[in-house]
Homo-oligomer: A and B are copies of this chain.
Amino acid sequence: MIMSRIEAPRDEDDAAAAVTGTLVDRLRAGLPAGSVLTDPDVTASYAHDMASFCPAGAPAVVVLPRTVEEVQHVMRTATALRVPVVPQGARTGLSGAANATDGCVVLSLTKMDRILEINPVDRVAVVEPGVVNATLSRAVDAHGLYYPPDPSSWEMCTIGGNIGTASGGLCCVKYGVTAEYVLGLDVVLADGRLMSTGRRTAKGVAGYDLTRLFVGSEGSLGIVVRAVLALRPKPPAQLVLAAEFASASAACDAICRIMEGGHVPSLLELMDRTTVKAVNDLAHMGLPETTEALLLAAFDTTDPAADLAAVGALCEAAGATQVVPAEDAAESELLLQARRLSLTALEAVKGTTMIDDVCVPRSRLGEMLEGVDRIAAKYGLTIGVCAHAGDGNTHPTVCFDALDPDESRRARESFDEIMALGLELDGTITGEHGVGVLKKEWLAREIGPVGLEMQRAVKQVFDPLGILNPGKLF
């Protein structure tokens, strides 16, 4: 850490203030008035993202550049003064990857929010990083196009943040994650130089795929200032089916039958009884509380009713107690709303949650859910599970009272035990939320010492001074 905390003793404060003074003066020399924020009350509001239990420091300054040149100025200044830089989008992340470190420059990309191009023939969009996901989705929709990645925070989160985290969403089971849609990037490197990666063509293999290296790198390799994104033609509206099961394992059996049967649902989500009850308590949606697992399947094909009928039959064969296909788009939307409310609803259960993000091979989803049940019982905790079930991506959500130290300790321990279980089942500690500060120790466990050494060496190539989002990932 280069500078001390705001709350540090007086003489350290003076030294820090002097450094900060130089830093701020230098930043202001290349940024317009109003783009450099130093009021501690304001900068403090940029300290962290939406992850629980992740340490966050106090930024020395927040900058809000509007051009590539301004970002270059920020990085040149940070390099010259050896000051850490924490890039941020909308700070909706769930791993602390956007959390400030003491004395850092918070580099918020939210003002670089222009959609530069939408091209229906090439099926690409060219955007700045601060464009909000929903804004882009609506803009391309107007051209008959579709930008699939849809994290739950899509009304707030930015494309730059999505790229940093390699975000997923509800549609991934059919359409894949953010990574699949990033064709090319303009990146400002740690030293302020500008580099272009990738392409705007449908295909291209010229040199190493540095584009994909930046996707999911959590701001630790460079600052994305422009992205070329692939688009798809807009699919027909999806139709949703809800199936109730008397056990989670029956629901998982249905999922296996659906995928083994060659179906390609546009959504295949699971909510356990705890989650269903939490959503009812919050929003009075009248979901069936007697069910142990509620499965939602959707198709956006030309004949979704036929696909739902086939999948409904498979659910029944797997022991579904009730199968209810939505009759129209409005009914479908209601079911999706219930799913989207899950995390908020679980948060209301005991005030605080830790949301895990373990992804396992879908053939092992049943073992995963059983294991989470065991862990909840062992620690005497409420753990609700909602899952992108078609991807095997579970979000076991530990509900606890943060004011109860013992319960908090048990919450943390169960959270870790869930990740250990995921690794045992050939899974990963993070399907879509990223590593950030929340899962740093676990990254090493997942990828092993050789992988870790190579990842660190790659980091060193792009950030030899270690100023880009230090303390994240590893």
Contact = CB atoms under 8 A, between A and B. Distances in A.
Interface of A: 119-124, 144, 165-166, 168, 172-173, 177, 179-180, 189, 193-197, 199-210, 212-213, 215-217, 221, 232-234, 256, 259-260, 262-264, 301-303, 359-363, 388, 390-393, 426-435, 439, 443, 446-448, 450-452, 454-455, 457-462, 473-474
A122 B259 CA distance: 8
Given A195-B454, A216-B208, A450-B193, A121 B461 contact: no
Which residue, A172, A179, A208, has most C-beta atoms of chain B within 10 A? A208
Nearest to A222: B454
Number of copies: 2
Nearest to A457: B461
A256 B119 CA distance: 11
Given A195-B450, A262-B233, A201 B359 contact: yes
A207 B431 contact: no
Given A121-B256, A196-B448, A201-B359, A209 B179 contact: yes
Nearest to A220: B208
Contacts of A256: 121
B262 A234 contact: yes
Contacts of A173: 202
B432 A362 contact: no
Given A203-B388, A208-B217, 20 more contacts: A121-B259, A121-B363, A122-B259, A165-B205, A195-B450, A197-B447, A200-B426, A201-B427, A203-B359, A203-B432, A205-B216, A205-B434, A206-B428, A206-B429, A206-B446, A207-B443, A207-B451, A210-B451, A234-B262, A302-B302
25 contacts: A121-B259, A121-B260, A122-B259, A122-B361, A122-B363, A172-B203, A189-B450, A199-B428, A201-B359, A201-B427, A202-B390, A202-B393, A203-B388, A203-B428, A203-B432, A204-B431, A205-B432, A206-B435, A207-B216, A207-B473, A207-B474, A210-B458, A232-B264, A301-B302, A457-B461
A455 to B, nearest CB: 5
A40 B441 CA distance: 52
- Ranked nearest first, the 5 interchain pairs of A and B with the lowest CB-CB distance are A233-B262, A212-B212, A202-B391, A204-B428, A203-B431
Given A209-B215, A256-B121, A264-B233, A204 B448 contact: no
